[in-house]
Amino acid sequence: MTKLVTDSIKMVDLESQYLKIKVEIDRAIQNVIDTTSFIKGSDVRQFETELEEYLGRGVSVIGCANGTDALQIALMALDLQPGDEVITTNFSFIATVETIELLKLKPVLVDIEPDTFNIDVEALLKVLSPRTKAIIPVHLFGQCANMESIKAVAESKQIKVIEDTAQALGASYTLDDGTRLSAGTIGQIGTTSFFPSKNLGAFGDGGALLTRDPDLANRIREITNHGSNVKYYHERLGVNSRLDTLQAAILRVKLRYLDQYHQARNFAASYYDKALKENKRLIIPQRTNKSTHIFHQYTLKLIDMDREQFRSYLSSKGIPSMVYYPVPMHLQKAFSYLGYQHGDFPVTEKICNQVVSIPMHTELDENQLRYITDVINDYTN
Ligand SMILES: *Cc1c(COP(=O)(O)O)cnc(C)c1O
């Protein structure tokens, strides 16, 4: 049977990605099994060190079990008190807000910029209060939030910054003074996720914390390990949240390909940009000049189009799509107790109805990209 271009179009193609590096990955996995050093095996520290080198001088990396734990551990490490306010974006994956609430801190939501989908710093300034103790910007879809302004506000008010870098590990940001820093290493702590579909994905759950502060690094390491530095002596309240050796061994292999993966994603994004930019019924993603973009997602905004009809049309042509995210945080049932109303965050509410993400991964080839963009441009409904 002839293989059709649509046979292989996926939102994320982890299988083809694996097959290209199967020999190295399988060897790394077998090696861990041979040593049976499943917890805190040598691959864990080696992966942390290699990621430290990748992210730049002076960065400490501490592995943990997943990106949600990383956020919780970051908040724990900053010794925040119940009732302290933590400002974050209204447009993200739920984990960002969940962990704030789990620690009995108070989430304060902020609207987003309509072009970048990232937290709107003007709106952030309006909700600052004497109880504001931390800000969690999310570098959504692979591009950094406005860190220059966030850093300035945070420094002037002595507020801590935790960067949720789950979607942007490996992106970089250039500050006004010319310093170029990796996403997640600009504020006090960065958190990331190695969920399989993230840009650096494991074969299961995984996460990490990043910091330039050696004291924070020690504290974070203790917290991930039951608050303990020396076995059976516990300095503080901690959790059990470690990066598995098997995952670390896999991540060591994949880290060597991360820049190549970013290039492949950028190739696809540029192709989409060029082919779709004249289409009057949609808006291509905006790139800022301060941040690189690693295109965790390629997200279009539809103009006066019925999104579900458009998505059914794509699906009938063999093209998957997803909506990240259909419901803003303030309208989630889980957060109804915060007392926000419909209309409180007009930009996020509008964007949630407008966005659609199309296939974006490291294995898209030109045939597929041409087919996807032709199909989109043919849509006349
Ligand atoms: C994936 C993700 C997380 C959570 O990571 P897990 O490893 O799935 O717990 C947190 N924040 C954002 C923005 C994410 O995309």
pLDDT tens for residues 183-202? Answer: 999 999 999 999 999 999 99
Report CA(331)–ligand 1 centroid distance (Å).
19
Report CA(97)–ligand 1 centroid distance (Å).
11
Percentage of the residues of the chain whose pLDDT score is greater than 70: 98
Minimal-distance CA residue to ligand 1 atom 14? 166
Does the structure show a pLDDT above 90 at 229? no
User: What pLDDT was estimated at residue 347?
Assistant: 98
What atom of ligand 1 comes closest to residue 138's alpha carbon? Answer: 13
Q: What is the pLDDT of residues 107-137, one digit of tens each?
A: 999 999 999 999 999 999 999 999 999 999 9
Does the structure show a pLDDT above 90 at 32? yes
Does the structure show a pLDDT above 70 at 251? yes
pTM of the model: 0.97
How far apart, in whole angstroms, are the C-alpha atoms of residue 208 and residue 186?
Answer: 15
Minimal-distance CA residue to ligand 1 atom 6? 67
Cβ–ligand 1 distance for 132 under 6 Å, the answer: no
Does the structure show a pLDDT above 90 at 45? yes
Cβ–ligand 1 distance for 207 under 6 Å, the answer: yes
Report CA(93)–ligand 1 centroid distance (Å).
7
Are the C-beta atoms of 142 and 171 separated by less than 8 Å?
Answer: yes
| Domains parsed from the chain with CATH numbers | 2-8+257-380 (3.90.1150.10), 17-255 (3.40.640.10)
Does the structure show a pLDDT above 90 at 292? yes
Does the structure show a pLDDT above 80 at 79? yes
pLDDT band at 166 (very low <50, low <70, confident <90, very high): very high
What atom of ligand 1 comes closest to residue 206's alpha carbon? Answer: 7
Does the structure show a pLDDT above 60 at 82? yes
pLDDT band at 2 (very low <50, low <70, confident <90, very high): low
Mean pLDDT of the chain: 96
Contacts of residue 197, Cβ cutoff 8 Å, sequence gap at least 6? 12, 14
Q: Average pLDDT in the 5-29 region?
A: 93
Cβ–ligand 1 distance for 93 under 6 Å, the answer: yes
Are the C-beta atoms of 216 and 190 separated by less than 8 Å?
Answer: no
- Give the HSE-up count for residue 72: Cα atoms under 13 Å, Cβ half-sphere: 22
Helix, strand, coil percentages in the chain from 3-state DSSP, rounded to 5: 40, 15, 40
Cβ–ligand 1 distance for 363 under 6 Å, the answer: no
Does the structure show a pLDDT above 90 at 42? yes
